[in-house]
């Protein structure tokens, strides 16, 4: 029952390309076969929620230098049992940035991605089934770096590739450029 809202959101979503379509189908299958898909303790993988936060002019995005992964990424994290993945993305964005001006640009899914999280001292290698939403915030509001991050940085959409050229990030940059 708790998965129904996510299924509804996913049914309204259109993957951008064949790679995203493959991940979309994998995500649907995972949710269908895993009643406890929001539980971050699952060894095989779990649902995560992310926030792609643009400035008001839609020229820059807020990225975090993730401490464990040592990569520049969008803000986000585990659902921890919460099936309202949009709220998860908003909560994670606020916790990881300290921003109070975060607003939804859309209640619809902005992007999806399935990626492997490498094994570390606390967890086995597993998949993150990441559902991403689009937000905006005031670029002039002070940022607060959380314990999960090394740094936070507003980055021009044209310069994101210098920090992370991963296909997943590039896809969100390209989607963002169609908004302006």
CB 9 within 8 A of CB 108: yes
User: pLDDT tens, 84-132?
Assistant: 999 999 999 999 999 999 999 999 999 999 998 878 777 778 899 999 9
Q: What is the CATH number of the domain that holds 104?
A: 3.90.79.10
State the pTM of this model.
0.94
Q: Which domain holds residue 117?
A: 4-177
Model pLDDT, residue 172: 97
Whether residue 180 is predicted with pLDDT greater than 70 in this model: the reply is no
CA distances from 84 to 30, 89, 107 (A): 17, 9, 11
The DSSP-derived string for 112-165 is EEEEEEPP-SS---EEEEEEEEEEEE-TTSPP---TTEEEEEEEEGGGHHHH--
* Rg of the chain on CA atoms, in Å: 15
φ and ψ at residue 101, rounded to 5 degrees: -95, 10
Please state the rounded mean pLDDT for residues 64-68: 92
Total domain count, the chain: 1
């Amino acid at each position: 029952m708790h998965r129904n809202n996510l299924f509804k959101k996913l049914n309204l979503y259109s993957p951008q390309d064949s790679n995203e379509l493959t991940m979309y189908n994998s995500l649907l299958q995972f949710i269908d076969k895993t009643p406890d898909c929001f539980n971050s303790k699952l060894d095989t993988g779990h649902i995560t929620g992310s926030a792609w936060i643009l400035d008001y002019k839609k020229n820059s995005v807020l990225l975090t230098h993730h401490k464990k992964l040592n990569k520049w990424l969008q803000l986000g994290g585990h659902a921890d049992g919460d099936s309202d993945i949009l709220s998860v993305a908003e909560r994670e964005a606020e916790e990881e940035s300290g921003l109070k001006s975060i607003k939804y640009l859309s209640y619809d899914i902005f992007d999806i991605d399935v990626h492997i999280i490498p094994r570390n001292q606390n967890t086995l290698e597993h998949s993150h089934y990441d559902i991403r939403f689009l937000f905006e915030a005031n670029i002039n509001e002070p940022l607060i770096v959380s314990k999960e991050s090394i740094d936070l940085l507003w980055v021009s959409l044209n310069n994101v590739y210098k920090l992370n050229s991963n296909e997943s990030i590039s896809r969100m940059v390209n989607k963002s450029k169609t908004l302006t």
